[in-house]
Amino acid sequence: MQLQDIARVLRSKNAGPCLITFDVMFGNRKDFDRVCSQLHRLRTEVASRYGRSENEVRVIAYEPAQAVKITIPRDVMSGDPGDRDVYGAQQHAPLLEIEI
């Protein structure tokens, strides 16, 4: 099963001009727990899909909203010459197909 099959929300946005943050929210406790049990592997997958080292990927389980937050550095600072997504709102696509 892929992340996009069980996520209720899967989105990206800037967290300040240097970082991109992903919010993956789940609709029930079971799916949230399932992903929480694989956070280490999720971090490895994110690092490889975004061309980052693992220590640049921050993963936080956020129980109050049954969500996982993932934050990585941007390749290009928001709005710098060569940036493709100033708000960072469309950088989540590589997460959709991560197997869970």
Beta strands, E only, the chain: 7-14, 19-26, 58-62, 67-73
Minimum distance from residue 54 beta carbon to other proteins (Å): 16
The contact pattern for other proteins, residues 55-84, with x = CB under 8 A and - = no contact, is: ---x-x-x-xxxx-x-x-xxx-xxxxxx-x
Give the total of residues touching other proteins (CB under 8 A): 38
How far is C-alpha 60 from the geometric centre of its chain's CA atoms?
10
Verify binding: residue 15, other proteins, rule CB under 8 A: yes
Burial of 68 (0-12, 13-18, 19+ CB in 10 A): buried
Minimum distance from residue 14 beta carbon to other proteins (Å): 5
- In 10 A of CB 72, how many CB atoms? 22
- Chain residues in the site for other proteins (CB under 8 A): 9, 13-19, 21, 23, 25, 51, 58, 60, 62, 64-67, 69, 71, 73-75, 77-82, 84-87, 90-91, 93-94
